[in-house]
Amino acid sequence: MDKMPKWADVILTPLISLVLAMAISALVILAIGESPVMAMKTMVEGALGSSYGWGFTLYYATNFIFTGLAVMVAYHASLFNIGGEGQAAMGGLGVALVLLYLPLPHWAIALPVAMIGAAAFGAAWAFIPAYLQAKRGSHIVITTIMFNFIAAAALNYVLVNKLRPVGSMDPASARFPEATHIPALTDLAAGLGMTWGKNTPVNITFLVAIAACALVWLLIWRTKLGYEIRVLGKSEPGAVYAGISPVKITVIAMLISGGLAGLMAINNVMGESERLVLNAVEGAGFIGIAVALMGRNHPFGILLAALLFGFLYQGGGELALWTSIPRELIVVIQALVILFTGALDNMVRMPLERLFLSMRRTKGGAK
């Protein structure tokens, strides 16, 4: 069983996967006649070289933390939730309805209320796939994919036919009331007498996301519910034997997962666009899969992986701006990360295990 030390499993395998993904991306960049070194430089400068770049990097990272945590919680119950995209979109609808129709005098009140709205709508969108998986055995991967498309169609309908202000051509809701705008981190920095991240969308949701990481860690490893989720994930017969109801835990784990994905809307809908627009999620739900895999389904790993993808996302935007490399490069990197950390995990792991085994043997021989 113990072929590798834990640190190698937790740190080395994702790092090697990342290096492999980066190396192949570099080859792709070379193949289209651009310089990978220049590309990396542009990305680092654009994403991390200024407080402006950091502001965007952290904004994107906030989205990915939520969707990554969503994938992670489901994953611990051995459920593969690819529905983060639809759940986050529905979370946006929850935020919009709360902010447009409830009279909320101040952002400090609006924020928790909007969070409840976002989480409730995201969780509700995860509920049907969860229930069908638990009760009827319908494969959750397929149903969550289908629900992504249904969510997109439903939002399209609601935005065009219901929420669109009279006279507007744009399929988007009205702007949220001024009082409900949450402070951006640049405002907080200004309050402390610093100029940081002017005109960047990163807002206090970033702090909420950090708190969410800590809470999810507590939930999974320090509560009875988290224990039950992990038991179910390891072995369903084991869970049944221990008196844990698979139906109940499946549904609860998916509700939490959907709620976390929905919470992303606080960042992009309430914090950034301040109204609900079409396709507000922009693929963040799917990036959550890469983030969770890369972060080894641990909140701290997810935080780091989300920062990495925030960097890639912002850097990719800069790349498209300054070079002839389109921003789809990051989609390729994202695909390779998913491929190497998720599907080709054994390809990375097997040679490593062999290496450690032979190292241990030579050590044993020397004694």
Partner 1 sequence: MKIKDSLIALIVLGICLIWAFVDGSAAEQGIGSALRLMTPLLLACLAGLYSERAGVFDIGLEGKMLMAAFTAASVAYLTDSAWLGLLAGIGGSLALSLVHGLASITFRGNQLIAGVAINFLASGLTVLVGQNAFGLGGRTPALTGAGRFQPINLPFAETLRDVPVIGPIYSGLISGNTILVYVALLMVPVTWWVLFRTRFGLRLRAVGENPASVDTAGVSVTRLRYAAVAICGILCGIAGAYLATGLSAGFVKEMTAGRGFIALAALIFAKWRPWQALFATFLFGLLEAIANLYPNLDLGFITIPSMFMNALPYILTVIILAGFVGRAIPPRAGGEPYVKER
23 contacts partner 1 (rule: CB under 8 A) = no
Instruction: Confirm or reject binding of residue 156 to partner 1 (CB under 8 A).
Output: yes
What is the distance between the alpha carbons of residues 255 and 239, in angstroms, rounded to a whole number? 19
Q: Verify binding: residue 138, partner 1, rule CB under 8 A.
A: yes
343 binds partner 1 (CB under 8 A): yes
Interaction between residue 321 and partner 1 (CB under 8 A): no
Closest approach of Cβ 278 to partner 1, in Å?
12
Cα radius of gyration (the chain): 22
Q: How far is the CB of 343 from partner 1 (least distance, A)?
A: 4
Maximum Cα interatomic distance, the chain, rounded to a whole number of Å: 83
Total residues in contact with partner 1, by rule CB under 8 A: 49
Tell me the closest approach of the beta carbon of residue 39 to partner 1, in angstroms: 12
To the nearest 10°, the Cα dihedral for 299, 305, 306, 311?
Answer: 160
Site string for partner 1, 39-78 (x = CB under 8 A): ----------------------------------------
Among 65, 73, 77, 82, binds partner 1 (CB under 8 A): 82
Rounded least distance, CB 285 to partner 1, Å: 11
Determine if 38 is a binding residue for partner 1 (CB under 8 A). Answer: no
252 sits near partner 1 (criterion: CB under 8 A): no
DSSP state letter for 180? G
SS3 203: strand
The reply on whether position 157 binds partner 1 by CB under 8 A is yes
202 or 338, CB closer to partner 1? 338
For residue 33, state whether it binds partner 1 (rule: CB under 8 A): yes
Residues in the chain: 367
DSSP string, 112-154: HHHHHHHHHHHHHHHHHHHHIIIII---HHHHHHHHHHHHHHH
CA–CA distance, 95 with 243 (Å, rounded to integer): 38
363 is a contact residue toward partner 1 (CB under 8 A): no
162: contact with partner 1 by CB under 8 A: no
| Residue 190 touches partner 1, criterion: CB under 8 A | no
- Looking at residues 278 to 307 of the shown chain, list those that interact with partner 1 (rule: CB under 8 A): 286, 289, 293
At 172, give phi and psi (nearest 5°): -150, 160
Where does residue 164 rank: exposed (0-12), middle (13-18), buried (19+ CB within 10 A)? middle
User: Which residues contact residue 98 at a Cβ distance below 8 angstroms, ignoring those fewer than 6 apart?
Assistant: 104, 110, 113, 114, 116, 117
Choose, by CB under 8 A, the member of 8, 44, 124, 154 that binds partner 1: 154
How many CA atoms are closer than 13 Å to the CA of 317, on its beta-carbon side?
12
User: Cβ contacts of residue 258 below 8 Å, gap of 6+?
Assistant: 70, 81, 83, 87, 122, 123, 124, 125, 126, 127, 130
Residues that bind partner 1 (CB under 8 A): 28, 32-33, 80, 82, 128, 132, 136-139, 141-143, 145-147, 149-150, 153-154, 156-157, 160-161, 286, 289, 293, 324-326, 328-336, 338-339, 342-347, 350
